[in-house]
């Protein structure tokens, strides 16, 4: 018979596991009409990367490629809504799980390799890119996608940081190398976005850049979907605020992929332009 301290420990571990599972569940987003999802393991150098591809199965013409990157301690399922939305808007989307917990430079290298595979037609899907490439990253993914953008040659066509967060100045050290059009969408300052440390990270950004604050937004408003645990830490997710992240991103990408060298998101209710470069 188990001794009482051991029984208590087992009970505590079981309750903790149940709570963790319950608070980290996410809702699978509905796919827009005509959009399919295909999951694959993709070899990026020495790393095997889990990727969910979203694309329009019956698309007649080639479309832009977009790589979507999640935040710290998350995975691709927390950006599944972005995959569905962007694909429904006419893009071929790779939503990846970063292979390294916090080795940001290595994650950036993997993102770059995934982009290059897409450019050369080596994504394992029946869809064709049109030569245009975008990077979209949330939180830590904003940093690692920026590091990837700094190393791509030829450069990508657009970078979007969804409440991006720098770490130890790594993004700030590389931002000047990023020459492509950029958009940073910020939530309100909080510990989870380093009190908006993206502002310092992007101070020397090398291309045209627009920085916009989503009024009243929490850090997790930029995810899609988020979970209970994230909202307990960061604050409640509001669909209206998330839609402001979404609409601004789509507007910017439409401009960048349409050939605008300096795409701009129009100021409107809930969108506060912080600065333009």
8 A C-beta contact, residue 250 and residue 240 = no
Task: State how far the Cα of 188 lies from the Cα of 85, in Å rounded to an integer.
Answer: 24
Pick the CATH number of 34-276 from 3.40.50.1820, 2.30.30.40, 3.40.50.2300, 3.20.20.140: 3.40.50.1820
Crossing angle of helices 80-88 and 239-257, in 10° steps, is: 50
Question: Cα–Cα distance between 210 and 217 in angstroms, integer?
Answer: 18
* pLDDT of res. 174: 98
| Tally of residues, the chain | 277
Q: Is the dihedral of CA 189, 194, 198, 200 positive or negative?
A: positive
Mean pLDDT over residues 242-258, rounded?
A: 98
Q: What is the pLDDT of residues 157-171, one digit of tens each?
A: 999 999 999 999 999
Q: What is the mean pLDDT of the chain?
A: 91
pLDDT tens, residue by residue, 112-124? 999 999 999 999 9
Rounded Cα–Cα distance for residues 183 and 264 (Å): 8
Confidence of residue 20 (pLDDT cuts 50, 70, 90): very low
pLDDT band at 21 (very low <50, low <70, confident <90, very high): very low
Average pLDDT, integer, range 76-102: 97
User: 229: closest CA among 195, 189, 193, 192?
Assistant: 192
Domain boundaries, the chain: 34-276
3-class SS of residue 94: strand
Q: Which pLDDT score, from 0 to 100, does residue 18 have? A: 43
- The CA R_g of the chain, rounded to the nearest whole Å, is 19
Residue 66: name the closest of 77, 79, 47, 57 by CA: 79
Instruction: Give the mean pLDDT of 234-240.
Output: 88
Q: What percent of the chain has pLDDT over 90?
A: 81
Which tokens is 154 given?
């030829």
pLDDT score of 26 more than 90: no
pLDDT at 12: 47
């Amino acid at each position: 018979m188990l001794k009482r301290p051991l029984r208590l420990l087992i009970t505590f571990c079981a309750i903790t596991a149940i709570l963790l599972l319950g608070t980290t569940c996410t809702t699978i987003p509905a796919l827009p009409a005509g959009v399919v999802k295909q999951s694959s393991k993709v070899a990026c150098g020495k790393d095997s990367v889990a990727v969910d591809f979203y694309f329009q199965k019956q698309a007649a013409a080639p479309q832009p490629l977009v790589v979507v990157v999640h935040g710290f301690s998350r995975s691709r399922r927390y950006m599944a809504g972005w995959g569905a939305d962007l694909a429904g808007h006419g893009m071929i989307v790779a939503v990846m799980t970063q292979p390294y917990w916090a080795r940001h430079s290595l994650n950036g290298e993997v993102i770059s390799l995934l982009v290059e595979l897409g450019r050369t037609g080596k994504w394992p899907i029946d869809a064709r890119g049109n030569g245009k490439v975008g990077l979209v990253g949330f939180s830590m993914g904003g940093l690692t996608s920026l590091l990837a953008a700094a190393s791509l040659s030829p450069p990508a066509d657009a970078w979007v940081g969804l409440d991006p967060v720098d770490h130890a100045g790594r993004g700030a050290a590389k931002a000047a190398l990023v020459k492509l059009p950029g958009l940073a969408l910020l939530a309100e300052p909080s510990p989870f976005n380093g009190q908006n440390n993206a502002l310092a990270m992007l101070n020397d950004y090398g291309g045209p850049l627009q920085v916009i604050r989503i009024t009243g937004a929490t850090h997790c408003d930029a995810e899609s979907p988020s979970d209970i645990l994230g909202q307990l830490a960061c604050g409640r997710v509001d669909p209206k605020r998330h839609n402001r992240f979404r609409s601004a991103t789509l507007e910017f990408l439409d401009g960048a992929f349409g050939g605008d060298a300096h795409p701009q998101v129009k100021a409107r209710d809930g969108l506060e332009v912080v600065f333009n470069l």
